[in-house]
């Protein structure tokens, strides 16, 4: 299903969320409006490496980031493997792959780096490589 976020449509696999599409869209809209910082949705995580990375991403609090290397160390794998799994995240924004960044830069986001930056700024997160960070 397509869900608008800051003027861009993001594809979200609603089959992985135990909620009707209207509830999913409403919670994303509340997030965008600043009413909600976390989602109250039951997620069906895949039983594979991507699912493990998704669970790790879901533990990153709003307004914070982790590097691909941080998650790689936590999951005992390589940063590139974490990046690939982030790219396979079927429910972006709700499972916050935008909170995973490079050590010195934003780097990679299926929705585009402009949207990644906008999501992080919306949450008040420091942005790597930003002179004001």
Q: Write out the two tokens for 42.
A: 């039951």
pLDDT in tens, 91-111: 999 999 999 999 888 888 888
Q: Interior CA angle at 100 toward 108 and 12, to 5°?
A: 75
- Report the pLDDT value the prediction gives residue 47, as an integer from 0 to 100: 96
pLDDT in tens, 19-64: 999 999 999 999 999 999 999 999 999 999 999 999 999 999 999 9
Look at residue 129 and tell me if it is in a domain: no
pTM for the structure as a whole: 0.92
Rounded to a whole number, what is the largest CA-CA distance in the chain?
A: 42
> What distance in Å separates the CA atoms of residue 91 and residue 95, rounded to the nearest whole number?
6
Active site residues: 97
Look at residue 128 and tell me if it is in a domain: no
Look at residue 130 and tell me if it is in a domain: no
**CATH code (residue 113):** 1.10.10.10
* CA end-to-end distance (rounded Å), the chain: 34
Q: Please check whether residue 42 is in contact with residue 14, taking contact to mean a CB–CB distance below 8 angstroms.
A: no
Look at residue 131 and tell me if it is in a domain: no
Domain count, the chain: 1
> What distance in Å separates the CA atoms of residue 45 and residue 52, rounded to the nearest whole number?
8
Look at residue 38 and tell me if it is in a domain: yes
Look at residue 63 and tell me if it is in a domain: yes
The boundaries of the domain holding residue 57 are 2-123
> What distance in Å separates the CA atoms of residue 10 and residue 93, rounded to the nearest whole number?
8
């Amino acid at each position: 299903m397509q869900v608008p976020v800051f003027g861009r449509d993001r594809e979200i696999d609603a089959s992985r969320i135990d909620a009707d599409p209207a509830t999913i869209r409403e919670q994303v809209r509340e997030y965008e409006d600043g009413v909600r910082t976390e989602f109250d949705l039951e997620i069906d995580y895949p039983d594979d490496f991507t699912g493990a990375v998704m669970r790790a991403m879901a533990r990153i609090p709003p307004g914070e980031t982790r590097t691909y290397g941080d998650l790689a160390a936590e999951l005992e794998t390589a940063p590139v493997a974490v990046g690939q799994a982030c790219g396979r995240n079927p429910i972006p924004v709700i499972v916050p792959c935008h909170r995973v960044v490079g050590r010195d830069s934003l780097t990679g986001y299926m929705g585009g780096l402009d949207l990644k930056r906008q999501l992080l700024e919306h949450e008040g997160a420091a942005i790597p490589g930003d002179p004001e960070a």
